[in-house]
Amino acid sequence: MKTKNLLRIAFLLILALLATEALRAQTASQTSILRPPAGSKVALVEFADLQCPDCARAASLLEEAVKTYKIPLVVYDFPLPQHPWAFDASIFAHYFRTKSTPKNNLETKFRLFIYENQSAITPQNLREYVDKFSKANNAPVPFVVDPQGKLAAQVRAAKDKGIAVNIQHTPTIYVVTAKTTGTPFVEVVNRNELFSMIDQALAETRKQ
């Protein structure tokens, strides 16, 4: 009986150690991914699906925050399997990222355009909307946009980052900082609190 109890205790200790290591690994992944771009102290990070209605609802608020606070928004694509055209739309977004400039962020414009027209887009007519955006912004898109699959690989890599930080839904939004102590990032659960959360993050980074 004593041997069985000892074995049970040892098994439970091993499980606890494995759980602790898994938590440490996840925390390390979050810390490395949920960071502002180089040169920024505070930023917004969003894991988004271009076919997600709630992502469309959040888009204008995030843009308002970016313009108000002059902080960057880092978008990681997290296309959900139940959304048939989301992955392809993300590929086009990554294409427009390659054509963006500091003065003309075509990627952001494209994402907002897709959100605005989301309810009318289907897998069959997605390319028509891409071409409408392309013509309106004088940004030609080749017939085969991703012949080598590099853009698709970027979308998968972005989704892998979301999996690494245990994203469960879209949009998932964080206010992230360059802080090296305390909590460097916090999830925006209530979007009504976004601006106050940014205010707090900016205040905390000024103290460092």
Q: For the domain that residue 146 is a member of, what is the CATH number?
A: 3.40.30.10
Range of the domain at 12: 1-33
| 22 and 92 together in one domain | no
| 106 and 125 together in one domain | yes
| 42 and 15 together in one domain | no
Candidate from 15-29, 44-58, 194-208 with smallest mean pLDDT:
15-29
Question: Alpha-carbon distance 157 to 152, whole Å?
Answer: 9
Question: Alpha-carbon distance 118 to 50, whole Å?
Answer: 8
Q: Quote the number of domains for the chain.
A: 2
| 49 and 93 together in one domain | yes
| 8 and 88 together in one domain | no
Sheet of 42-48, strand order:
73-77, 42-48, 172-177, 185-187
pLDDT of amino acid 129? 98
| 42 and 136 together in one domain | yes
Average pLDDT over residues 12-26: 46
Candidate from 85-94, 161-170, 177-186 with smallest mean pLDDT:
177-186
What is the pTM (predicted TM-score) of this model? 0.83
| 109 and 13 together in one domain | no
Sign of CA dihedral 82, 192, 196, 114: positive
Question: Alpha-carbon distance 174 to 166, whole Å?
Answer: 13
